Amino acid sequence: MVTVSEAVEERRSVRQFIPDKPVPLDVVRQLVKKATRSASGGNTQPWHLYVVSGDKKVELTEAVFHEMGEGNLGDAPEYNMYPIECPDSYMVRRRKVAKDMYDLMGLKRNDKLGRVNAMRRNFEFFDAPVGIIVTVDRVADRNGWGHTGMLIVSVLLAVECFIMTRSLTFFRNFTSTL
């Protein structure tokens, strides 16, 4: 068993999973149960978790691809992923991570189709056998979002002790499809 310190140190975003290596549902249940021990102000627990796997996961991916095929590029975002006035220091990091990622995939800057296909992999959960969709209760304000962030870290670390994981925000654009 990996310790929490090791999990913190080793954590990284994995963008390719072994599709036919199923994760037993009771392992997922245990992990979620552990992670939801996470602290929240006033113990409000302003989050919801939805676990998808098997046919449901495929159905979700197909529903998003269907929407995209119909020209729907997503709902109007309910929040900004990045500050509207993104500080230069953030932009430097964003550009670097994007460049590093595309270089690793062997994708050229002008390879638009390649980049779209790479983006689509998000909706395929990068072949992960299980996806956990975390939502924040709409009544929660920014403070509650922070509490949910703490829950997500707990999920990532708890999972990391057993299995690899990664966080995805791409689904935020398809909340109505979800």
Ligand X SMILES: Cc1cc2nc3c(=O)[nH]c(=O)nc-3n(C[C@H](O)[C@H](O)[C@H](O)COP(=O)(O)O)c2cc1C
Query: Min. distance of Cβ 88 from ligand X in angstroms?
Result: 18
Query: Would you count residue 13 as binding ligand X (CB under 6 A)?
Result: yes
| SS3 per-residue string spanning the chain | CCCHHHHHHHCCCCCCCCCCCCCCHHHHHHHHHHHCCCCCHHHCCCEEEEEEEHHHHHHHHHHHHHHHHCCCCCCCCCCCCCCCCCCHHHHHHHHHHHHHHHHHHCCCCCCHHHHHHHHHHHHCHHHCCEEEEEEECCCCCHHHHHHHHHHHHHHHHHHHCCCCCCCCCHHHHHCCCC
Looking at beta carbons only, is 43 or 169 nearer to ligand X? 169
Which residues on neighbouring strands pair with residue 32, listed in sequence order?
none
Comparing CB distances to ligand X, the nearer of 27 and 164 is: 164
Between 12 and 29, name the residue whose CB sits nearer to ligand X: 12
Candidates 8, 12, 92, 116; binder of ligand X (CB under 6 A) is: 12
Residues in the interface with ligand X (CB under 6 A) total 9
Residues 116-175 that bind ligand X (CB under 6 A): 122, 167-170
**What minimum distance in Å lies between the beta carbon of 166 and ligand X?**
6
Kindly state the smallest distance separating residue 42's Cβ from ligand X, in Å: 23
* Ranges within 42-101 binding ligand X (CB under 6 A): 97
Binding residues for ligand X, rule: CB under 6 A, are: 12-13, 15, 97, 122, 167-170
